[in-house]
Amino acid sequence: MCTRITRLVFVKSSRSIFNGLIRKAHNWGYRQGIVPEEWHTVFPLCNAKFQSPIDIKTSDVAYDSSLEKFNLEELEKTRDVDMVLCTNHGRSIQVNLQGHDIKVTGGSLPGTYKVEQFHFHWGPNNNVGSEHTYDGKQVTAELHIVMHLDKYSNAGEALKNENGLAVLGYLIDVGSHNKNYDEITDKVKNVQKQDDILPLQSFKLSSLLPSSKCYYRYLGSMTTPPCAPVIWTMFTENIYLSENQLQEFRNLGNTDMDLIHNCRSPRPLDGRIVTSNCNNSS
Ligand SMILES: [Zn+2]
């Protein structure tokens, strides 16, 4: 997420002064600065239990007939929004929806949630890039729609509170050209510098999503620092983009190493049981 989180790393010995300086300069990252294995040294929650992403073993998913359908009607509205490259703190391409008052209800979430932004995670080739995996299989990318309880003004405030954050996630795999993504993938190349902002025209969030309403539910965390708690919904049906479209994301890695590979690897399940609103998870 493009949340502004800056913390200095304390340098413990003279030997580590050089490392400390590098870390201060880069903040957290994937291959630069504070790498995922060390996030917890600055953001303790990243080493806590019940982290995300996870591998979802479909044979262990428990059907829960009480899980409701989502009401995603407000994602149908067409609106002009901005796309932004968050290299320093979020390390992703993000589309900001704050101020558009898009509300999501249902899905057995504990209240009404407002969509704040969506962003992507990807990797250097077709076999690396998603954060969640289904039955151990990593696919090429992942879409996260970040929402916060509507009583909070933004995700940064919500993440400090119980049930403050919820994310809708979709795996993205390689397929044929997906024209619904043209507005994003054609323009990714134009957001090359940190916090570059690019207007997108007549954008409908629902057009990016597959039709299946089946989802997995579990309690986890943000997959980036500060790794605060998140109510996760991972939809079972994948999104498909062409190789060329996916390459547009990977090309961002030409300017920032962390934009070649911006996915965290699956965390331990810690005894959690993943549930689903569909009996056969299809
Ligand atoms: Zn994410």
- Cα 14 to ligand 1 centre (Å): 36
Predicted confidence (pLDDT) per residue in 29-65, tens digit: 888 888 999 999 999 999 999 999 999 999 999 999 9
Asked whether residue 91 is assigned to any structural domain, the reply reads yes
pLDDT in tens, 167-177: 999 999 999 99
CATH number for the domain harbouring residue 160: 3.10.200.10
| Span 139-169, pLDDT tens digits | 999 999 999 999 999 999 999 999 999 999 9
Number of domains in the chain: 1
How many A from CA of 196 to the centre of ligand 1? Answer: 19
Residues recognised as catalytic: 89
Residue 85 has pLDDT above 50, yes or no: yes
Q: What percent of the chain has pLDDT over 70?
A: 88
Q: Is residue 230 part of a domain?
A: yes
Secondary structure (H, E, C), the chain: CCCCCCCCCCCCCHHHHHHHHHHHHHCECCCCCECHHHHHHHCHHHHCCCCCCCEECHHHCEECCCCCCEECHHHHCEEEEEEEEECCCCCEEEEECCCCCCEEEECCCCCCEEEEEEEEEECCCCCCCCCCEECCECCCEEEEEEEEECCCCCHHHHCCCCCCEEEEEEEEEECCCCHHHHHHHCCHHHCCCCCCEEEEEEEEHHHHCCCCCCEEEEEEECCCCCCCEEEEEEECCCEEECHHHHHHHHHHHHCCHHHCCCCCCCCCCCCCCCEECCCCCC
CA distance 238 to 143: 10
pLDDT computed for residue 19 by the predictor: 41
Cα(64) to centroid(ligand 1), Å: 26
**116 vs 12, residue with greater confidence:** 116
In this predicted structure, the answer to whether residue 199 has a pLDDT above a threshold of 90 is no
The answer as to whether 12 is a domain residue is: no
pLDDT tens digits along 56-67: 999 999 999 999
In a domain, 10, yes or no: no
From residue 257, give the alpha-carbon distance in Å to each of 19, 21, 184. Answer: 18, 19, 21
189 lies in which domain range? Answer: 49-276
Q: Is position 43 within any domain?
A: no
Structure tokens at 217: 């539910």
36: in domain: no
Rg of the chain over all Cα atoms, to the nearest angstrom: 18
Ligand 1 centroid, distance to 121 Cα (angstroms): 6
Q: Are strands 62-63 and 141-149 parallel, antiparallel or unpaired?
A: unpaired
In a domain, 28, yes or no: no
